[in-house]
Amino acid sequence: MDFIFMIVAFLVGLVFLVSGTHIKSSSVSRICYGVGMFGVILAMYIAWPK
């Protein structure tokens, strides 16, 4: 279950990071960057050996 959640969090994070580069509004792009970074960092935390 953690493996699937890690993949989903990583992919959603990447989608938000890439979409943040294409959005013209600075506030919306910052939100996309924030959500994207959170998703990628969450996936890295889940993948970290415990």
Q: For helices 26-47 and 2-22, what crossing angle results, to 10°?
A: 160
Q: What percent of the chain has pLDDT over 70?
A: 100
Q: CB count, 10 Å around CB of 20?
A: 18
Hey, where are the domains in the chain?
2-47
Amino acid identity of 42? Answer: L
pLDDT at 20: 87
For 1-49, what is each residue's pLDDT tens digit? 778 988 999 999 999 999 988 888 889 999 999 999 999 999 999 888 8
Taking the C-alpha atoms of residue 18 and residue 9, their distance in angstroms, rounded to an integer, is 14
DSSP states of 28-43 as a string? HHHHHHHHHHHHHHHH
For 19-30, what is each residue's pLDDT tens digit? 988 888 889 999
pLDDT at 25: 87
Q: What's this model's pTM, rounded to 2 decimal places?
A: 0.80
Q: What are phi and psi of 22, to 5 degrees?
A: -95, -10
